Structure 1
Amino acid sequence: MSDLAAKRGAVPAAKKALFLVFHLGDERFALRATEVAEVLPRLPLKPIAHAPQWVSGIFAHRGALVPVIDLSALAFGTPAQARTSTRLVLVNYQPQPWAQARWLGLILEQATDTLRCDLGEFKPYGLDNREAPYLGLVREDALGLMQWIGVNELLTDEVRALLFSAEPSV
């Protein structure tokens, strides 16, 4: 048996995934990198009238209008701090699998690191927070706990209708 064949048969491939790591205040969170379309610096935004306070506004990017939410304000009621590491992260938002994905902007603090780990390292944390369905599994490491954010669970039906009322152009 060749060395390559022995290596292939001896150790099953680990299911590693890449995550963008960021902070909301002092707490660490992660987004699956496959959901991230682009990481941008903070940009000027046009406010949206009658939107919840955690909806930061909208901006034009590559021919599309992109709504932006402040994830810190959504989760904890405190706007993200304006740091040099605070980013506007475009994610592919697709709450229904049959619908076309749309860009949604997230304002995230300290969004400068990545992590590659086994998906199985994230575990249920034992709480059912119905007010925050986007809070997912938790991973523990030497720095403490890190929670996975579910992009497609970020918006309620009401806010989704406000931010994505128009059909995307094809």
Structure 2
Amino acid sequence: MTEPTPRRSPDAACQERLFLVFRIGAERFALDTREVAEVLPRLPLKPLPHAPGYVAGVLAHRGVLVPVIDVSALTFGTPAPQRTSTRLVLVHYRFDPARPDLLLGLILEQASDTLRCDPAQFRPYGVDNREAPYLGPVREDADGLLQWIGVQDLLDEQVRSMLFPADGGPA
């Protein structure tokens, strides 16, 4: 006889969030899907001359120019490989309250899985990595460590002002 599956309380379900899980090489990372506007296949981009190497270019999407960064190149210095599971994920980039509808594109490897869990399961990982403030807490599971990426911390002030100039548009 098998035991019945325990039911989650409504309170526990309310605390859970959905995360988009992706990889950079063998390492796993996650984005809170509340920050995700749209998931697209990898699309051609217009390159931006003299931009940092992790700035992949600009995408024209539904009449809006969206700057795109390669999270693999930003994190480990190696661009994401061209795979069918490599996605272009548009996220809400809310650094300026006067412009709440800004989008930032992220090239993510193997962005094809999701995870529903309580955000409190992510814990600080004990490393002061000031060069990568977007690397947030980690969650351990059967597959190892999963690290939460903070979308709002991906760009430093210099790159942010280049990609989102004060005149209201992307570079």
So what's the TM-score if we normalise by structure 2?
A: 0.89
CA distance 1:98–1:123, change in 2 (3 Å): farther
1:12 is displaced (CA, Å) by 6.2
1:49 is displaced (CA, Å) by 1.2
* C-alpha RMSD of matched pairs (Å): 1.5
Percent identity, please.
66
Q: Deviations over 1:98-154 (max 9, x none)?
A: 642410000000000100001111000011100000000100000000000000000
1:95 is displaced (CA, Å) by 2.1
1:13 matched to 2:11: yes
Aligned equivalents of 1:149, 1:17: Cα separation in 2: 14
Matches within 5 A, 1:86-165: 86-97=86-97, 99-165=99-165
CA distance 1:126–1:101, change in 2 (3 Å): farther
Partner of 2:79: 79
Partner of 1:8: none
Partner of 1:55: 55
**SS in structure 1 at match of 2:161:** helix
Aligned equivalents of 1:38, 1:16: Cα separation in 2: 21
**SS in structure 1 at match of 2:131:** coil
Aligned equivalents of 1:99, 1:23: Cα separation in 2: 30
Question: Counterpart of 2:160 in structure 1: which amino acid?
Answer: R
Question: Counterpart of 1:139 in structure 2: which amino acid?
Answer: R
Question: Counterpart of 2:168 in structure 1: which amino acid?
Answer: E
1:167 matched to 2:168: yes
CA distance 1:12–1:112, change in 2 (3 Å): closer
Aligned equivalents of 1:96, 1:48: Cα separation in 2: 22
Partner of 1:42: 42
1:54 is displaced (CA, Å) by 0.5
Question: Counterpart of 2:24 in structure 1: which amino acid?
Answer: L
1:97 is displaced (CA, Å) by 4.8
Partner of 2:3: none
CA distance 1:86–1:58, change in 2 (3 Å): same
Structure 1 stretch displaced more, 74-83 or 97-106: 97-106
Gaps of 5+ in 1: 1-10
Question: Counterpart of 1:84 in structure 2: which amino acid?
Answer: T
Question: Counterpart of 1:102 in structure 2: which amino acid?
Answer: L
Question: Counterpart of 2:123 in structure 1: which amino acid?
Answer: K
Aligned equivalents of 1:95, 1:155: Cα separation in 2: 10
Aligned equivalents of 2:133, 2:156: Cα separation in 1: 10
Question: Counterpart of 1:13 in structure 2: which amino acid?
Answer: D
Question: Counterpart of 1:51 in structure 2: which amino acid?
Answer: A
So what's the TM-score if we normalise by structure 1?
A: 0.89
Aligned equivalents of 1:60, 1:12: Cα separation in 2: 42
